[in-house]
């Protein structure tokens, strides 16, 4: 009898394993079709194994969290190390505290409204996609200059991130990263061409800058008082703001919905530049509205919502969003 029960148990386990394997295979095929993925025979098995590992991570996270949900998005065939190398690790932080203080506007004493969303006020262009080029710093820069220009002139135009990749050598290293504040200074000095005349290629290229096509929207940059929720909200009330975050964690890689909070798995080791375009209540939680540069299939149509909790990460904010905000002037 014991032998029969053991065999039955093994048969049920094998059936369950087989059913799960078939389910994952179907999910894998659907995901590949959705994201137009094709692999060689050897790579297919390796990528499927990574996909299954990420499936387990996402499933476990969703079971343990109710306020934030993850999903198998376009990065589901990447390991954490590959994701960090290809999509983040490319926004440089200015660590000279005296220099930052000398170039800071103190917004914290300025009154601000209960909510702001520049997407509703013709100051934010559609979500862009940096591809597998570490150019997030350039898209954070074009986004903040686009907003500044739109608010000042009433005209929203899409500025060229590729121009900054190719030409702003003093501000960064193209697809290997750079400093948003120096890129904003570059925009002040040389102006930016529109994306239509200097299109994005997702790779380093020779500078094709044409001064006759460029718009000088700003005269310089200013840091916003860091580690201060009121200061960042006040700054956002005047224009979209370039911010730095840590984005190399699973919760950022697979983010789908909800307001990311202090205990949801995001640190403050800055490696990615994004754009804060507003703040307000999301499902009863106070949040910053943050535009990313990974295309509109990621997150909430290209956006992520970060709690305004100023105590997170020792005052750096959720994902470090309060660490080094910067705006054009």
Q: Is residue 183 part of a domain?
A: yes
Residue 140 sits in which domain range?
81-328
Claim to verify: residue 23 and residue 146 sit in the same structural domain: no
Domains: count for the chain: 2
Kindly report, residue by residue over 110-128, the tens digit of the pLDDT: 889 999 999 999 999 999 9
Q: Is residue 153 part of a domain?
A: yes
What are the phi and psi torsion angles at 271 (to 5°)? -150, 10
For the CA atoms of 126, 262, 248, 259, what is the dihedral angle to 10 degrees?
A: -30
Taking the model in full, what pTM does it have? 0.92
Which one of the listed residues 54, 228, 292, 313 is annotated catalytic?
292
Contact 233, 282 (CB under 8 A): no
pLDDT of 15: 40
Q: Is residue 68 part of a domain?
A: no
Which one of the listed residues 136, 175, 266, 319 is annotated catalytic?
136
Which one of the listed residues 228, 272, 313, 319 is annotated catalytic?
272
Claim to verify: residue 244 and residue 304 sit in the same structural domain: yes
* Segments of the chain scoring below 50 in pLDDT: 1-16
Q: Is residue 75 part of a domain?
A: no
Q: Is residue 64 part of a domain?
A: no
Claim to verify: residue 133 and residue 190 sit in the same structural domain: yes
266: annotated active-site residue: no
pLDDT of 109: 77
Claim to verify: residue 125 and residue 231 sit in the same structural domain: yes
Instruction: Give me the helix-helix angle, 41-64 and 2-34, nearest 10°.
Output: 100
Q: Is residue 230 part of a domain?
A: yes
136: annotated active-site residue: yes
pLDDT of 17: 52
pLDDT of 18: 61
What are the phi and psi torsion angles at 118 (to 5°)? -70, -10
């Amino acid at each position: 009898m014991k032998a029969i029960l053991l065999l039955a148990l093994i048969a049920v386990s094998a059936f369950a394993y087989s059913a799960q394997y078939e389910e994952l295979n179907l999910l894998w095929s659907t995901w590949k079709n959705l994201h137009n993925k094709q692999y060689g025979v050897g790579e297919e098995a390796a990528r499927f194994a990574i996909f299954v590992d990420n499936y387990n991570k996402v499933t476990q996270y969703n079971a343990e969290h109710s306020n934030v949900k993850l999903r198998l998005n376009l990065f589901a065939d990447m390991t954490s190390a590959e994701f960090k190398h290809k999509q983040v690790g490319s926004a440089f932080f200015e660590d000279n505290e005296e220099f930052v203080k000398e170039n800071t506007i103190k917004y914290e004493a300025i009154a601000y409204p209960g909510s702001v969303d520049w997407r509703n006020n013709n100051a934010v262009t559609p979500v862009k996609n940096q591809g597998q080029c570490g150019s997030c710093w350039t898209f954070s820069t074009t986004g903040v200059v686009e907003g500044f220009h739109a608010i000042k002139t009433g005209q929203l135009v899409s500025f060229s991130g590729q121009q900054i990749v190719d030409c702003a050598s003093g501000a960064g290293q193209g697809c290997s990263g750079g400093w948003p504040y120096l890129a904003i200074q570059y925009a002040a000095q040389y102006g930016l061409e529109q994306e239509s005349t200097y299109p994005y290629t997702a790779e380093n290229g020779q500078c094709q800058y044409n001064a006759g096509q460029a718009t000088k929207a700003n005269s310089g940059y200013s840091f916003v008082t860091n580690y201060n929720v009121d200061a960042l909200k006040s700054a956002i009330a005047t224009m979209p703001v370039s911010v730095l975050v840590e984005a190399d964690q699973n919760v950022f890689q697979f983010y789908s919905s909800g307001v990311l909070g202090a205990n949801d798995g995001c640190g403050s080791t800055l490696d990615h530049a994004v754009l804060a375009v507003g703040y307000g209540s999301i499902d009863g939680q106070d949040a910053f509205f943050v535009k990313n540069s990974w295309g509109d299939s990621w997150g909430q149509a290209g956006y992520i919502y970060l709690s305004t909790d100023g105590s997170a990460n020792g005052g750096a904010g959720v994902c470090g969003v309060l660490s080094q905000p910067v705006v054009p002037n």
